[in-house]
Amino acid sequence: GENVEQHPSTLSVQEGDSAVIKCTYSDSASNYFPWYKQELGKGPQLIIDIRSNVGEKKDQRIAVTLNKTAKHFSLHITETQPEDSAVYFCAATPGDKIIFGKGTRLHILP
Amino acid sequence: NAGVMQNPRHLVRRRGQEARLRCSPMKGHSHVYWYRQLPEEGLKFMVYLQKENIIDESGMPKERFSAEFPKEGPSILRIQQVVRGDSAAYFCASSPTTAAQETQYFGPGTRLLVL
């Protein structure tokens, strides 16, 4: 079955700097890759997604890239702000279910 | 348009009791998914249901766990004879069609604590 690896598990960046989270997946049938942000005590919230027919997508300070050949996809957050502190999950969908990475805890340092 | 609703938000049970977790999908969504999250872990798929049908239960333990999504009313995840290892956050998500085509929207979760 699908396996999603996510790195790093923890990331600390200075406010205003950029943060990059990287994921790999194993099942070439996966064609939809959502990213979720989870704040303490809350459910995951979709922040951006990308489909396999697109290499890059941007939404204000957030961008996602996808390399289908290498089975890599990444999340980029620019000009980080305190409210970006949370746990971020990448995911892949080889079928009807979402397979999540283990998450990256992002700390924005003042 | 209300989001995915789950209740209760917190549930405490003693070992051997039953836990019932409820999920009301977003309006217009007929696909429901249940996930379990252990502390400091990602979410693990448990079961995928459509109205009155279980489509994929490959992530659900074979014993003590069951799920349903009746024609009327919320989806229910039922855990019988709970054990301490069942303590986790349980999240429900919904989508209008299958996950391969549509985003899944998550509820706030039910945090189950087994004493």
**Are B66 and B18 contacting, i.e. CB atoms less than 8 angstroms apart?**
no
**Are A107 and A67 contacting, i.e. CB atoms less than 8 angstroms apart?**
no
**Are B82 and B15 contacting, i.e. CB atoms less than 8 angstroms apart?**
yes
Q: Is the pLDDT of residue B70 over 80?
A: yes
Q: Is the pLDDT of residue B1 over 70?
A: no
**pLDDT per residue as tens digits for the range B72-88:** 999 999 999 999 999 99
Which has more pLDDT, B35 or B41? B35
CB-CB under 8 Å, A32 with B4: no
pLDDT value of residue A29: 87
**Are A36 and A48 contacting, i.e. CB atoms less than 8 angstroms apart?**
no
B2 and A CB contact within 8 Å: no
Closest residue of chain A to B94, computed from CA coordinates: A97
Q: Stretch B33-46: mean pLDDT, rounded?
A: 90
**What residues in A contact B103, CB-CB < 8 Å?**
34, 46, 49
Which has more pLDDT, B28 or B64? B64
Q: Give me the count of residues in chain B.
A: 115
**pLDDT per residue as tens digits for the range A11-59:** 999 999 999 999 999 998 898 999 999 998 899 999 999 988 878 999 9
Measured distance CA(A41)–CA(A44) in Å, rounded: 10
Q: Which residues contact B70 (CB under 8 A, 6 or more apart)?
A: B51, B52
Structure tokens at B59: 């992530």
Cα torsion B2, B7, B8, B9: sign: negative
pLDDT value of residue A95: 78
Structure tokens at B108: 């706030």
Among residues of chain B, what percentage have pLDDT more than 90?
Answer: 77
Which of A98, A99, A102, A104 best tests the B interface by mutation, with the highest count of B CBs <10 A? A98
pLDDT value of residue A2: 84
**pLDDT per residue as tens digits for the range A49-107:** 998 887 899 999 999 999 999 999 999 999 999 999 999 999 998 877 889 999 999 99
Q: Is the pLDDT of residue B67 over 60?
A: yes
pLDDT value of residue B28: 87
